[in-house]
């Protein structure tokens, strides 16, 4: 029986870019920003936060591209990945996980409810015969798994057999992007109208990086129910 995943999407921060001698990434950003004005002499032990807040308030976000985050996303669907890789200013490494063949379903749906009637027609000699089957989401995923594995057994290359895999199929991906691009990702994927799967994972990730990296992501406000996030207005 196919394993169904509900609200199982996970993230793991693999790397948080640091500067020379392991300095906090904010130090790297401040140094880059002050280079533009030859004002390195104004750097102090605790000047980075205020400096970055000021230049971001002026709309000068290019300097925050000097630091990056690498994140592993697991137990997510191929559809999640299709959305994620639209963010082109990033690096991705993806692994198909068809060996396990698990499927992601919306959190409020029943995978065993037989909602869909299929009509399967075959020619028996010259006479078509139609069979009606009512199946569930789980049963449909199991049929897809049988087709995929059958094609492999018949000699198809895995890359070709994957064409039958639904976008609900579980996969995993690593994404590396600079801070500016992550702000763009959070702005789109944490919004209330973002798709439920990627929104849930990204809101959780946003809350984490807000704790780890002050200033850069502070202007995002996570909703009281923790289901979405938006940029604070006028700040």
pLDDT given at position 188: 97
pLDDT digit string, tens, across residues 92-106: 999 876 677 899 999
Greater model confidence, 184 or 129: 184
CA distances from 188 to 56, 83, 191, 197, 220 (A): 19, 10, 6, 13, 12
Q: What is the pTM (predicted TM-score) of this model?
A: 0.89
pLDDT digit string, tens, across residues 28-45: 888 888 877 766 766 777
Q: Are 211 and 13 in contact (CB under 8 A)?
A: no
Which residues are registered as beta bridge partners of 70? Answer: 15, 176
Q: Are 89 and 178 in contact (CB under 8 A)?
A: yes
pLDDT given at position 69: 96
May I ask the CATH architecture of the domain 4-101+168-231?
2-Layer Sandwich (3.30)
Whether 180 shows a pLDDT value over 80: the answer reads yes
- Average pLDDT of every residue of the chain: 90
Q: Where are the domains of the chain?
A: 4-101+168-231, 109-164
Q: Are 160 and 176 in contact (CB under 8 A)?
A: no
Greater model confidence, 129 or 169: 169
Which of these, 72, 24, 70, 69, lies nearest to 47 by C-alpha position?
24
């Amino acid at each position: 029986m196919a394993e169904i995943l509900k609200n199982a999407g996970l993230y793991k921060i693999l790397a948080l870019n640091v500067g020379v001698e392991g300095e906090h990434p904010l130090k790297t950003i401040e140094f880059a920003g002050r280079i533009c004005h030859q004002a390195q002499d104004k750097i102090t032990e605790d000047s980075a936060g205020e400096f970055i807040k000021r230049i971001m308030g002026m709309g000068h976000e290019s300097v925050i591209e000097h630091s990056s985050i690498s994140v592993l996303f697991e137990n997510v669907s191929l559809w999640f990945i299709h959305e994620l890789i639209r963010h082109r200013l990033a690096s991705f490494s993806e692994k198909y996980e068809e060996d396990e063949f698990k499927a992601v379903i919306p959190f409020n749906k029943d995978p065993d409810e037989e909602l869909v009637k299929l009509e399967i027609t075959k020619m028996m000699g010259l006479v078509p015969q139609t069979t009606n089957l009512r199946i569930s989401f789980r049963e449909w995923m199991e049929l897809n798994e049988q087709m995929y594995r059958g094609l492999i057994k018949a000699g198809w290359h895995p890359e070709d057999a994957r064409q039958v895999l639904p976008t609900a199929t579980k996969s995993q991906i690593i994404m590396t992007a600079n801070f500016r691009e992550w702000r763009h990702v959070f702005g789109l994927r944490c919004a209330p109208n973002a798709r439920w799967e990627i929104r849930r994972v990204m809101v959780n990730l946003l809350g984490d990086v807000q704790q780890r990296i002050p200033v850069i992501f502070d202007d995002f406000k996570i909703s009281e129910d923790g289901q979405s996030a938006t940029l604070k207005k006028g700040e």
